[in-house]
Amino acid sequence: MDYTWDFKVVADNFPVLLRGVGLTVELWAVALVLGVSLGFLISLGPTSGRRWLQLPAIGYVEVFRNTPVLVQLIWFYYAFPILIGFQLSPVAAAILGLTLNTSAYCAEIFRAGIESIARGQWEAAKALGMTRAMSLRRVILPQVGKRMLPAFTNRAIELAKVTSLASVLAVHEIMYQGRLLSSTYYRPLEILTVVALVYFVVIWPGSWLSARLERRLAARD
């Protein structure tokens, strides 16, 4: 235990780590926006009442939720290009994998939210002459929006952590930079500890806000 800590190597390479954080945030933002949007589209399947739309959507969600996300990323980087005939860059494969994975979880959130609204609301909207799309947009979604918010903030936090797996595809985000630096300078203790702290500092405020929001919404009901 008489190890002498030396944070000089971290201080010298701080710009490298910061660039990694930048890419981590980019991955997170892009995959979140795309994943939520795609998740909404997919959730229209199970809630449509049509079997030929229901089954593929449920299958999609189950496949992504019952396999490890690391396997999904590796599949999209190493296997998928064979299917489509051209190589994907590590960033593209990571964004594709993260987006599809997030979309599966978001589809479940939308489905649960939409199904939590009583049937009578749909029927009343129909009685007023609204189409299905219109009732969804003007009657159902405004009511579930708030109810789904905590689930989405939790998903966003999960996604922030999952972006670290892109390092396995050699995407130069913070975890990759940390691995690279620690093998270059033989200072894994300092560097990996700092990487962990950086993640904590970035993610913890989000968790804190999300928990506060959840409590406030629960208190209002």
Partner 1 sequence: MRYQWDFSAVAGHLDLLLIGLLGTVRIALISIVLGVIVGAVLATMRLSGRRSLRFPATAFIEFYRNTPPIVHFFWFFYALPIVIGLNLDPYAAAVLALSTQSGAFYAEVFRGGILSIERGQWEGAQALGMTRRAALRRVIVPQALRRMIAPFIERSFELTKTTALASTLAYAELLYQAQQVNSITFRPMEVYTTIAVMYFLLLFSASMLARLGERRLARIG
Residues at the site binding partner 1, with contacts judged by CB under 8 A: 1, 3, 62-63, 66-72, 74-75, 78-79, 82-85, 157, 161-165, 167-168, 175, 178-179, 182, 188-189, 192-193, 195-196, 199-200, 203-204, 207
Which of 106/140 has CB closer to partner 1? 106
Kindly tell me which of 125 and 190 has the beta carbon lying closer to partner 1: 190
Cβ nearer to partner 1, comparing 70 with 118: 70
* CA–CA dist 174, 27 (Å, integer): 11
Comparing CB distances to partner 1, the nearer of 124 and 200 is 200
Cβ at position 132, least distance to partner 1 in Å: 31
Residues 121, 128: Cα–Cα separation, whole Å: 11
Question: Please, which residues have CB within 8 angstroms of residue 35's CB and are 6 or more apart in sequence?
Answer: 98, 99, 100, 101, 102, 103, 105, 106, 159
Smallest distance from the beta carbon of 191 to partner 1, in angstroms?
8
Q: What is the closest distance, in whole angstroms, from the C-beta atom of residue 136 to partner 1 in the complex?
A: 29
Instruction: Work out the number of other CB atoms within 10 angstroms of the CB of residue 104.
Output: 22
Q: How far is the CB of 154 from partner 1 (least distance, A)?
A: 11
DSSP code for 117 = S
Alpha carbon 109 to its chain's center = 13
Q: In degrees rounded to 5, what are phi and psi of residue 46? A: -60, -30
Nearer residue to partner 1 within complex by CB, 148 or 160: 160
